[in-house]
Amino acid sequence: MDRKVAAGAGAVVVAAAVAPFLSSYPLTLLTQVAIMAVLAMSLDVLLGYTGLPSLGHAAYFGVAAYAVGILSTEYEAGFVVCLPVALLAAGLTAAVFGLLAIRASGTYFLMITLALGMVVWGLAFRWVSMTKGDNGIAGVPRPDAVLPWNLDAPLPFFYFALAAAAVAWIALGTLARSPFGLTLKGIRESETRMRALGYNVWLHKYLAFVIAGVFAGFSGVFWAYYNGFVSPVDVQLVTSVEALLMVALGGPGTLAGPALGAAVIVFLKNFVSVYTKRWLLILGAVYIGVILFAPRGVLGAFRTTQR
Amino acid sequence: MDARLARALAVVVLTVLLAPLLGPPPLPAQSGPIKIGFLAPLTGPFAQIGKDMVNGTELYLDEIGRRVDGRAIELIVEDTEGQPATALNKSRKLVEQDRVHVLTGGLLANIGYALQPYIDGQKIPATYPVMAADDITQRKPAKWIVRTGWATSQPMHPFADWVLKNTRYRKVATIGMDYAFGYETVGGFQHVFEEGGGRIVQKIWAPLNTNDFAPFLAQIRRDADAVLALFVGRLALQFAKQYEEAGLKGKLPLLGGGTSTDESVLPQMGDEAIGIVTALHYSQALATPANARFAKAFEAKAGKIPSYYSEATYTNARWIVEAVKLVGGKAEDRGALLAALRRVNLKESARGPLSIDDHGNPIQNIYIRRVERVGGRLQNTVIATYPAVSQFWTYAPAEYLKRPLYTRDHPPCKHCQ
C-alpha cells in the first residue's frame, strides 16, 4: 500500500518537475490528463470500490461544468464562487439521482444511470435560455483564483490542475482506506453478508454515489476552465463511457489505476490520431488486449504479480 | 505467464505513448513551408462530409502544385470527431505544436463557437469555410476569424423574398431540425416572409435523432400553402421519402434550406426530391465556366459530384492562397495575413463573385434552386439568382444586430394556433 502511494506521489512530483521543460501542446495534454484523472478516480469509487457500474457519470461532471460556464459568463463570478456552487450543484444532482438509482443493481443500475444521464443531456440540449443549447457556452475565462499568479498561461494552469488532482487523489485515497471505504468493498464482495452483519447497505451505497458525484463535479469545474467552453457533448453518453473505459483500462479499485487509464486514453486519442485516421481501431485493439491479458486493468496486472 | 505478458504489454504501451512528450519542442519555422491546419470530422456520423471537405481543399492545392510565391504549402489535416473538445485539442496541436500559419476547416456550429475564444487568444489567422452559425460574424464577432463560407440565415432572407414575389404561397408551415442551425434557417425565412405579408402558421421541430417522421408529418397543417423543411444528411433523405409516402408531395409544395437537397445527399435521393425548391450560395448545376471547371475536376478526383462542402473548402483554400500572395508569401506576419484574408476579393469563383463585409462574412450570390432530373441524374437547377447578398440582407447592419439571434422561440410564431 505504501509503495503504491509512493509511486503515485512520485508520478505527481515527476510531472511537476518535467512540466517547465515541455512545450505548450504536450503541457495542455498533461493538464487534460490531470482533469480526466479526477473524473476517472471519482467513478472508481462507484465501479471499483462499491461495484456499481454507472453509465451516467458525465451528468455530474457536466452539471458542474455548466454551473461554472453560466456563473462565470452570465454573472462574472470568480473561482471562489464557482467552485462551491458547482460542487453543490453536482452533489445535489447526484443526491436526487442516487435516490432513484441505488435501488437497482447490476444491469438495471447501468440502465437507470444511463437514462438519468440522458435526462441531463436533454436539459443541456433543450433548455436553451439557460445552456445556450447545442451552441454551448463559449468564452469561459480562466479562473482569477485567490492565488497571486495569473492562470492564463499553460504552465500555471497545469500546476493548478495538477494540485487539484493531487487533492482529489489524497481525499479519495483517505476515503478508500477509512472504515467507510472498507465497508464499500465489503458491499462489493457480498451485499447480503454485509446486510446480515448489520450494515446499512443502502445508505453506504447512496453516500458513495453522492461522493462520486461531487468529485466528478470537481473534475467538471476544471474541465470548464480548461476548455473555456461547455456544450452538451460534455454530458453525453460518450463522455460517460470514456470515463468507464479509463477505469476499466487502468484497473478498478485502485484509484491510481484509473488515473493511469485516463493518461493512456488521452495520449492515445491525441497522438495516435496524428499518424492514422484509423486510430479508433488501435484504441479498440488496446481495450481488447487489456481485457484478454489484464482483465483487472493495467495496474491490476502489476499488483497480482507483485504479491 | 498472463500477468507477466500483461506487464510487458503495459510497459510497451506506456513507453510508446510517452515517447513523443520527450522529443524536442518544434522550432518556429522561418522559411519552411507555409502550413495550413485543417480540421474536419474524419470519424463519426459526419465522416463523409469531412471527406468532401478534405477533397475540396486538396483539389485546389494540387491544382497550384502546392506552392505559392516560391514556398511550399503543407496541409495538416486533423480529425475533430465532430466534437468541440476534440476540435479544441486538435487546434492546440496544430497551432502550438505544428505552428501552422492559418487554421481552417470545421463543420458544426458548436465547434465554431468553441474555437472562437481560443483563436482570438492565440491571435492565429483563421477561416471558417463551412461553420455558419450567425453570431460568429454578427453579435459575437471574432477578430481573428474570417468566414469564407456563409451565415445560416443569409440564403433564407432572399429565399423568403423570392417566395413572396414568385409564388402564391402566403401561409407556410415549417419543420426543421431541433438545433441552432434549424432555428437560424427557419428564423431567417420567417423574419423576411412575415415582413412581406406572409404568415408562418406552424413551426415543428424534429429531434436530431428522429427515426420516423410519421408523427411529425401527421401534424402538418393541410391548409398551409407550402411547407418549409430544413434537414441535413440522413434526415434529409428520410424526410423527402416519407413526405412523398404520406401523400403530401402533390398537395403541399416543399421548400427547404439548402442542405435539404445538397449534393451530399442528392445522388441518394429518388423522384421524391423532384420539385423541391431551396436556397443556397452554391449549386453543383450552376452554369458558369468557373463552376463547370471545378465540378469536372472534383468529379475526376473524388468520383462523385461536388457538394457545397467541397466547393466551400475548395474556394477557402484558394482564398488563403490569395491572401498569402497579398502579403508576398510572408505568412509569419499574422497581423498582415489577417488583414489580407479580409481584403481578398474573388471576382470569379465556383460559386460566383466573393468579397468580405466589415463583419467578416462573405457578400455573395444566393441561388434559388429547384431539384430536377437532367440527363438521368438529379440536380439543383438554378432558377433565380440574387447577386451580392449580405448577411444583413437589405437591413442596416447596426439595426439588424439590435435584434436578438434567431432561436427556437424567436421570431415568435404569431399565427400558430
The range of the structural domain enclosing residue A35 comes to: 2-306
Chain A interface includes B43 (CB < 8 A): yes
Q: With CA atoms as reference, report the closest residue to B298 among B274, B282, B320, B280.
A: B282
Mean pLDDT of A230-248: 88
For residue A302, the distance in angstroms to the closest alpha carbon of chain B comes to 6
Tell me the pLDDT of chain B averaged across its residues. Answer: 90
Task: Answer yes or no: do B17 and A24 touch at CB < 8 A.
Answer: no
pLDDT at residue A2 above 90?
Answer: no
> According to the model, what pLDDT value does residue B24 have?
45
- Span B102-121, pLDDT tens digits: 999 999 888 888 898 889 88
Chain B interface includes A275 (CB < 8 A): no
* Long-range CB contacts (within 8 A, 24+) of B323-326: B324/B34, B324/B68, B324/B69, B325/B68, B325/B69
B388 within domain boundaries: yes
Spatial separation of the C-alpha atoms in residues A306 and B301, rounded to whole Å: 57
- Span A240-294, pLDDT tens digits: 888 888 888 888 888 888 898 899 888 888 877 777 777 778 888 888 888 787 7
Which residues in chain B are contacts of A139 at CB distance < 8 A? 116-117
Band of residue A139 on the pLDDT scale cut at 50, 70, 90: confident
> According to the model, what pLDDT value does residue B285 have?
94
Question: To the nearest whole percent, how much of chain B has pLDDT over 70?
Answer: 93
pLDDT at residue A141 above 90?
Answer: no
> According to the model, what pLDDT value does residue A3 have?
73
pLDDT at residue B28 above 70?
Answer: no
Q: With CA atoms as reference, report the closest residue to B6 among A266, A296, A245.
A: A296
- Span B312-362, pLDDT tens digits: 999 999 999 999 999 998 999 999 999 999 999 999 999 999 999 999 999
Task: Answer yes or no: do B7 and A134 touch at CB < 8 A.
Answer: no
Distance of CA B417 to CAs B192, B350, B413, Å? 21, 44, 9
The number of domains in chain A is 1
Q: Is residue B44 domain-shared with residue B147, that is, in the same domain?
A: yes
Which residue among B114, B407, B408 places its CB closest to the CB of A231? B114
Question: To the nearest whole percent, how much of chain B has pLDDT over 90?
Answer: 75
* Lookup: cell for B20: 513523443
Band of residue B30 on the pLDDT scale cut at 50, 70, 90: low
The number of domains in chain B is 2
B104 within domain boundaries: yes
B126 within domain boundaries: yes
Chain A interface includes B4 (CB < 8 A): yes
Which residues in chain A are contacts of B118 at CB distance < 8 A? 228
In 10 A of CB A251, how many CB atoms? 26
- Span A69-120, pLDDT tens digits: 999 988 888 888 899 999 999 999 999 999 999 888 888 998 999 999 999 9
The range of the structural domain enclosing residue B332 comes to: 28-151+287-360
B17 within domain boundaries: no
- Span B397-407, pLDDT tens digits: 999 999 999 98
Which residue among A126, A277, A301 places its CB closest to the CB of B79? A277
Band of residue B3 on the pLDDT scale cut at 50, 70, 90: low
Write the CATH number for B311.
3.40.50.2300
Spatial separation of the C-alpha atoms in residues A124 and A230, rounded to whole Å: 10
Task: Answer yes or no: do B117 and A139 touch at CB < 8 A.
Answer: yes
Which residues in chain B are contacts of A20 at CB distance < 8 A? none
pLDDT at residue A166 above 80?
Answer: yes
Spatial separation of the C-alpha atoms in residues B349 and B379, rounded to whole Å: 20
Compare all CA atoms of chain A with the CA of B18 and give the residue at the minimum distance.
Answer: A267
> According to the model, what pLDDT value does residue B322 have?
94
Spatial separation of the C-alpha atoms in residues A275 and A290, rounded to whole Å: 22
> According to the model, what pLDDT value does residue B2 have?
55
> According to the model, what pLDDT value does residue B1 have?
42
What is the ipTM for the molecules in this complex?
Answer: 0.78
- Cβ(A188)–Cβ(A51) below 8 Å: yes
Which residues in chain A are contacts of B42 at CB distance < 8 A? 277
For residue B45, the distance in angstroms to the closest alpha carbon of chain A comes to 14
In a mutational test of the A interface, the residue from B1, B78, B89, B115 whose CB has the highest number of chain A CBs within 10 Å is: B89
Burial group, residue A111, by CB count within 10 angstroms (0-12, 13-18, 19+): middle
Write the CATH number for A226.
1.10.3470
Q: Is residue B112 domain-shared with residue B222, that is, in the same domain?
A: no
Band of residue A50 on the pLDDT scale cut at 50, 70, 90: confident
